[in-house]
Amino acid sequence: MRLTILSALLAGVAMTATAPAATPAPAPSLFDSATAVDKVTMPAKGDKPKTQISCHYYPHFMVKQIDEGEVGAAQLSILPSDGPHKPKCQQANAANEKVVNADDWSGYFKGVKGDFVFFDADDGVNGGLGFAVFGPDAKKIFEDSAFGPIHEVALAGTTLTVKYQRSAAASCSVVKDGASCWTKAVAETGVPATPTPDCAGGYLKAKTAMAKGRCDADRTPTQACIDKALKELDAQKWNEAPSVFVFEAQTVIAGGKPTTTALGPALACHPSD
């Protein structure tokens, strides 16, 4: 009897241990789902590199990205698609295709919300990654830099609201210029004046990480090496680099005009790249 009870208990433990864990529900997407996605690969030929053409279709337009394997897409464009037949996904541009001016933006397709098209930058700067919002006419409406992923993209009628941690650089260094720079930074970024961030600590943290990185690359991860690297960074006047602030922000685009507002105090302060 005891054996039977023990066997049953062990069997129950085994069943519990091997039961598959519940799969968490996927996070809701910030952007609209494409009605279709087509991809075409053009093999390398002669001087022409291998090319990936990606086409994302939405109710009113198609977003095309041509990627030749370099940093940033070779072309970003938007093509109206109101008709019953979706445009063909091809490298050649259609007569009514709107190509994003490379001087306005160079990066990658990110997503669509209503009639707003989002693109990411091709590389980060000052610890953030740039993003831009375009209209269906391939004209840029707004651009900014986000620290980490965008938190929220909401559409109410034709008004778009984007919430994110903003990475914004001032035109001066709080570590070098003190309170006068902070006053200027508040005016330039819109961040609340109080509480003031610990820029001295942020600069030291950034410089120490850079010094450690240099010593690790030289395979001499010693404190003596780090101290020497820190002195070299001070000689290069890193304390004079413009201050970068990270803070919660939102941008509202209404009537084609963007308005950006800080939603909280500066969460971090560090030197610009």
pLDDT of residue 35: 94
Say what angle helices 223-235 and 199-217 make with each other, to 10 degrees: 120
pLDDT at 9: 31
State the average pLDDT over residues 242-254.
98
Give the pLDDT confidence of 26-60 residue by residue, as tens digits: 556 899 999 999 999 998 888 888 999 999 999 99
Domain ranges, ordered by start, for the chain: 31-144, 147-273
pLDDT at residue 18 greater than cutoff 70: no
| Count of C-beta atoms within a 10 Å radius of residue 26 | 6
Helix (H, G, I), strand (E, B) or coil at 184: helix
Angle at 71 between CA 76 and CA 106, to 5 degrees: 35
* Helical spans, DSSP H, in 115-178: 174-177
* Cα(24)–Cα(244) distance, integer angstroms: 36
Q: For residues 170, 176, 177 and 178, what is the CA-based torsion angle, rounded to 10 degrees?
A: 90
pTM for this predicted structure: 0.85
What is the model's pLDDT at position 48?
A: 83
Residues of the chain above pLDDT 90, percent: 83
The residues near 35 (Cβ < 8 Å, ≥ 6 apart) are 57, 58, 59, 86
Tell me how far CA of residue 219 lies from CA of 212, 213, 216, 225, in angstroms. Answer: 10, 10, 5, 10
For 174-189, how does the pLDDT look when each residue is reduced to its tens digit (9 = 90+)?
A: 999 999 999 999 999 9
Per-residue model confidence as pLDDT tens digits over 95-113 = 999 999 999 999 999 999 9
Tokens matching residue 231: 């002195």
Q: Residue 87: is its pLDDT beyond 70?
A: yes
Rounded Cα distance between 100 and 180, Å, is: 40
177 token code pair: 């210029």
Distance CA(172)–CA(167), nearest Å, equals 15
pLDDT of 28 reads 66
Lowest mean pLDDT among 13-17, 48-52, 252-256: 13-17
Query: pLDDT band for position 3 (50/70/90)?
Result: very low
Cα within 13 Å of Cα(110), Cβ side: 22
Query: Closest Cα to residue 159, out of 249, 226, 252?
Result: 252
d(CA 16, CA 189): 54
pLDDT digits (tens, 9 = 90+) for 114-148: 999 999 999 999 999 999 999 999 999 999 999 99
SS3 category, 245: strand
Question: Can you give the pLDDT at residue 81?
Answer: 85
Task: Return mean pLDDT, the chain.
Answer: 89
